[in-house]
Amino acid sequence: MKKQFLSLVIIFSLSNFVISQNTFFTQLSDAGIELTQQNITYDPSYFSIDYPNGDVPEGKGVCTDVIIRAYRKLNIDLQKEVHEDMIANFNKYPKNWGLSKTDENIDHRRVPNLMVFFSKFGKVKSTSRNAKDYLPGDIVCWNLGGGTTHIGLVVNKKSDDGKRYLIVHNIGNGQELSDCLFDYKIIGHYSYMK
């Protein structure tokens, strides 16, 4: 009897975890879709921003800002999270920019840094060409060529043919919803829930 009760408690706890996890990723997807309603100009400029919870000036942003802003709507400050991990583990992050120390204004706004962070603290998922592997709330990173990386959020809206979920990203036209999952070489696929 005790064993059955313990088994039921474990099953109930796991099912609640799955429900709360699904709720989180649904909310993240919704936050991404909501971002597409904002008028944003693509602007990769360096900005001095507040810390923590800093953001670039209203109406500006790049692809990483889509991810940062979507998570911020769920009270997760990637600026702070990435900065604190980079302080503790600077040697684990790319040195693409010739920096000798962290910079809370920009570190979280760089795709390779987010890839390291999500690899450490999130779930690394398959980079397959199977659309069924990419679920709402997932984060996808691409190599656009010439050393340019890109990042976007999988959301709960389907392509016209219904075969894959759409992506919220900013590739130069502001925060937009696109059917672009397999348009570029996928180099990272993650889910992250704090």
Is the pLDDT at 28 greater than 60, yes or no?
Answer: yes
Q: In which residue are the tokens 């923590």 written?
A: 52
Is the pLDDT at 1 greater than 70, yes or no?
Answer: no
Average pLDDT over residues 35-43: 97
Classify residue 95 by its DSSP letter: -
Query: pLDDT of 142-162, one tens digit each?
Result: 999 999 999 999 999 999 999
Percent of the chain with pLDDT over 90: 85
Number of domains in the chain: 1
- The amino acid at residue 171 is I
Global confidence as pTM: 0.90
Residue 31 β-bridge partners: none
Percent of the chain with pLDDT over 70: 89
- Give one word for 29, left, alpha or beta, with left for phi > 0 and alpha for psi -120 to 50: alpha
- 172-193 burial: b if 16+ Cβ within 10 Å, else e: eebbbbebbbeebebbbbbbbe
pLDDT band for position 17 (50/70/90)?
very low
Query: pLDDT of 94-131, one tens digit each?
Result: 988 888 999 999 999 999 999 999 999 999 999 999 99
Phi and psi at 172, nearest 5°, equal 135, -15
Domain span holding position 112: 2-191
pLDDT band for position 55 (50/70/90)?
very high
CATH number at residue 179: 3.90.1720.10
Length of the chain: 194
The tokens for 91 are 């040697």
Q: What is the pLDDT of residue 3?
A: 53
Is the pLDDT at 173 greater than 50, yes or no?
Answer: yes
Query: Is there a contact between 175 and 61 (Cβ–Cβ < 8 Å)?
Result: yes
- Average model confidence (pLDDT) across the chain: 91
- Residue (of 145, 140, 146) closest to 178 by Cα position: 140
CA distances from 128 to 61, 120, 135, 182, 187 (A): 29, 20, 13, 10, 10
